[in-house]
Amino acid sequence: MSAEQTPTPETPEAEPRPVRLTAAAALAGLEGLALVAGGVWMLVLGLTGSPDDRRGAVTGGITLIVLALLPLLAARGLLLRRGWSRGPAVITQVLALPVAYNLLQADSVAIPAGIVLAVVAVAALVLLVNPATTRALGIRGPGNAPDQK
């Protein structure tokens, strides 16, 4: 590592990664993996099964797989303590809340999935806005910018 890459005590990388940050990354990663699994399932079912709309099933499967990139990249960024990664992680959680609500409105076995998704999304949001997570990612709030003279 060069002198510029070596963490100093003032940089967030010098401190151990907070458990909250690791947990937020794990939740985002699990959501991404769930999207990949759902996308593969839809894609396989669309290609090998007999869905009502084969084109819609294949398109939906591909869409879910592509959408999985956002939480997976965010999870990787959180684990590597990249400040940019909190934005995509928060967006993923905010987008998960209406999906959870729709699942909760169903009269089927989707209700438990809606409960799990809502709990995971809210827990991840709480972890992502936690001050320890914010500090670990090197994110400064308004008025906390370093003095530039």
How is residue 100 written in tokens?
């959870």
pLDDT at 12: 52
Q: pLDDT digits over 52-92, tens only? A: 888 898 999 999 999 999 999 999 999 999 999 999 999 99
126 or 108, which is more confident?
126
User: Nearest Cα to 94, choosing from 126, 64, 142, 48?
Assistant: 126
Distance CA 83, CA 78 (A): 8
pTM: 0.82
Which helix (H) or strand (E) covers residue 31, if one does?
Answer: helix 19-48
pLDDT at 147: 57
